[in-house]
Structure 1
Amino acid sequence: MRAAYALGGDDSCIADALDQASDNHHLPVSARARDLTQLVVSELVTNTRKYAPGPVLLELCITARTVEVIVWDSDPTVPAARAADPSRIGQHGLEIVKAVVEDFDVQREPVGKRITARIALADGPDGGPRRGVAADRDGAVGP
């Protein structure tokens, strides 16, 4: 199941896509996955709007085990997390994203770059993300 959205002023489209996956395809979308997906989208899109000129495209790809947050922009510069500095105010977005996702990848495109972050849909026995789900990249569900 793929859901692509033009970005508006709120994040209800993200919750709607996850609800659809849960309801229509009986996928286990945990509250943790929903919250982390909204956080990751917010951080990646904020960074893109701040540092890259031009359009931003957001795609959510929901598979049997993960949600992929894919953000494309027209700037080819690969983002880099800054060194940890507790006294720094702001500019922690990429650090946060890398800390909460299962997998993070940046690919240069003919124009710009594509950033993909994968988040496990279901919680593990300890209430955290299930381990080993990042390798499941071919489990697309639905039309």
Structure 2
Amino acid sequence: MERLAKRCGTEQDRPQADAGVVAGSAAYDMESGEISRARGFVRDFLSDARSLRGVAVPARALEVAQLVVSELATNVCKYAPGPCLLDLEVDGSMLTITMWDSGSVLPSPLQGDPSRAGQHGLEIVLAVCQSFEVRREPVGKRVRVQISLLDGPDGDPAGQSPW
């Protein structure tokens, strides 16, 4: 199924944007597994932010953002197939990724188990993001993560990570 909305602004749960904020949104029908389209939206959004708005987006951040969206979208496909909203926002040196779905069950990480096959997506997201928040909504839930767009001297994200 085609992307239902493309880069249309949404003001819900978003503070008033200033000139330094770059934002975009897309909607998907995850019953048809549009994970690759969601990854592509992230890639295009960050590439446009870099080329059109001069936002510094290191290769690491671009790859991490696509990985995180892929993992979040996979969870939607598995546990809450149906409509999904993806909001991206760059504000300064942080990329905020927010994904809404209609599922009521909140994700929680499993205990680390190297012998477990699969179900490591949330562990991966927690390992690469600077913040992670899940919030119940009147319908479904909203997952919000932040990824640093700054690289430290060793190529890792600059700044502190709560993990």
Identify the TM-score tier after normalising by the shorter chain: 0.7 to 0.9
The question of whether the paired residues in 1 share the 8 Å contact of 2:129 and 2:161 is answered with: no
Q: Secondary structure at the match of 2:142?
A: strand
Name the structure, 1 or 2, with higher relative contact order (CA <8 Å, separation 6+): 1
The Cα of 1:132 is off from its aligned counterpart by: 4.6
Matched, 1:73 2:73: no
Matched, 1:61 2:84: no
- Residue 3 of structure 1 is matched in structure 2 by 24
Match of 1:36 among 64, 75, 95: 64
> What 5-or-longer segments of structure 2 have no aligned partner?
1-21, 29-33
Which amino acid counterpart does residue 85 of structure 2 have in structure 1?
L
The Cα of 1:54 is off from its aligned counterpart by: 2.5
**RMSD of aligned residue pairs (Cα, Å):** 1.7
Q: Secondary structure at the match of 2:135?
A: strand
Match of 1:101 among 129, 137, 140: 129
The question of whether the paired residues in 2 share the 8 Å contact of 1:76 and 1:112 is answered with: yes
Which amino acid counterpart does residue 75 of structure 1 have in structure 2?
G
Write the distance in 1 (CA, Å) between the matches of 2:85 and 2:105.
Answer: 16
> What 5-or-longer segments of structure 1 have no aligned partner?
135-143
Match of 1:125 among 125, 130, 153: 153
Identity %: 46
The Cα of 1:2 is off from its aligned counterpart by: 1.0
Match of 1:114 among 142, 148, 157: 142
Calculate the TM-score normalised by the size of structure 2: 0.77
Calculate the TM-score normalised by the size of structure 1: 0.87
The question of whether the paired residues in 1 share the 8 Å contact of 2:94 and 2:149 is answered with: yes
